[in-house]
Amino acid sequence: MRKSPLVAFGAVAALAVVPLLVSNTYVLHMLVMVFLWVLLGQAWNLLGGYTGQVSYGHAAFFGVGAYTSAIMVKSGFSPAAAWWGLLAGGLLAALVGSVLGWICFRLRGPYFSLSILALSEVLRLVAVNWKDLTNGAEGILYIPAFNSKAAYYWIVLALAGVSYLTIRAVMRSKLGFYFLAIREDQDCAESLGIDTTKYKLYSLLISAFFTGVAGAFYMNYMGFIDPGIVFSLSDISIMMILVTMLGGAATMAGPAVGAVLYILMSEAFRVFLKSGHLLFFGILIIVIIIFFPQGIVGTLREKWAGRRLRAANATAPKAGA
């Protein structure tokens, strides 16, 4: 355990050198997308994997982050580089998260999932219809600040790194213990002195913040958004779940593994099957749930833990001894 911060630091340092060695813009673009999805997967995993609150509506926070940054640039509040936009996008997404959480956390289980889905769809409709603010379905377009992909690569790498370290620190603190307790048994958590509504909200706030930052980064990087892209149920909300599940929910490495595979597959499918590429993700969701419900990292860890457990059982004392 002690080694892991060093390993992570080394990994980030090694990754930071990549743009100096690779100049192929396509490869760099893929890497930018991978880290964007690492960021998104981490964010979803905190609420869904660690806290057990499965959200089908995280596109709401991605969209709010993206539009915040876009509107700030368009209205002259912030330069196109929009560093303020990243922070503001995250903060506004967290604010929206606190409102959605205040409403939806009255409900449990699938009813929470559906209510947050419903409200994220309402936000999408607002983005389509409030033309003065969002330019409606036509979307918002501007010229990205940097020509070089490398700049974006470093930014998104840093964001993914910060989110990783933050969530890791959270999960090692009191908050993390409380999140896990809420996931395992909400009634029990409550009777052990945990204000479950408050701590679910904390988890959602952190999760929404990073999702909003990711949305703002996406706007800055792509230079174009419309409501159908950033508030998309199938392309954002569901894919955030897929990335986490694929790698392994409630593991630190899971979202990263999931993001790499997701981007690779997404490119491959797009080449083979232009329009129906989501077909394979649908099949993938079914296959994961039936055969690898703990995801790749989770399954590997379980195998390893299983061995350890058997060893432990061999030496464990009898009950009551």
Partner 1 sequence: MSPQVAGQIELLGQVLISGILLGGLYALIGLGMSLIMGVMKIINLAHGELMMVAMYATYWMFTLAKVDPYVSLVVVCPAMFLLGVAIQKFLITPVMNADSILPQNQVLLTVGIGLVLSNLALLFFSANYRSVPVSYASKTIYWDVKMGGQTISLSFSYPFLVAFAIAVVLGAALFVFLGMTDTGRMIRATSQDKRAASLMGINTQRITYITFGLGAALVGAAGALLDPVYYLYPQIGGPFTSKAFVITVLGGMGNIPGAVLGGLVLGLAESLGSVYISLGYKDAFGFIIFVLVLIFLPKGLLGKGRA
Partner 2 sequence: MSLLELRGVSKRFGGLQAVGNMTFKIERGEILGLIGPNGAGKTTIFNLINGYFPPTAGAIFFKGERIDGLKPFQVCRRGLARTFQVVKPLARLTVLENVMVSAFSKTNHRGEASRIALEAIAFTEMESWRDRLAGSLPLGMRKRLEMARALATKPDLLLLDENFAGLNPAEVEKTIAIVRKIHESGVTILIIEHNMRVIMSISQRLLCVCYGEKISEGSPAEVANDPRVVEAYLGVAHA
Interface residue list for partner 2 (CB under 8 A):
172-174, 177-178, 180-181, 184-185, 187-196, 309, 312, 316-317, 319-320
Q: What residue type is assigned to position 274 of the chain?
A: K
Q: Which of residues 53-82 bind partner 1 (CB under 8 A)?
A: 54, 56
- In terms of CB distance, is 104 or 155 closer to partner 1? 104
Name 41's Cβ contacts closer than 8 Å, sequence gap at least 6: 240, 243, 244, 247, 254, 255, 256, 258, 259
- In terms of CB distance, is 155 or 242 closer to partner 1? 242
Name 224's Cβ contacts closer than 8 Å, sequence gap at least 6: 139, 140, 141, 142
Distance CA 59, CA 215 (A): 9
CB 41 → partner 2: shortest distance, Å?
20
Helical H segments across 185-252, by residue range: 186-191, 196-222, 227-230, 238-247
**8 scored as a contact of partner 1 (CB under 8 A):** no
**293 scored as a contact of partner 1 (CB under 8 A):** yes
**19 scored as a contact of partner 1 (CB under 8 A):** no
Question: Which residue among 73, 238, 240, 296 contacts partner 1 (CB under 8 A)?
Answer: 238
Name 35's Cβ contacts closer than 8 Å, sequence gap at least 6: 153, 156, 157, 159, 160, 259
Which positions touch partner 1 (CB under 8 A)? 48-49, 52, 54, 56, 103-104, 106-107, 109-111, 113-115, 117-119, 121-122, 125-126, 128-129, 183, 233-234, 238, 241, 245, 249-250, 273, 275-279, 281-286, 289-290, 293-294, 298
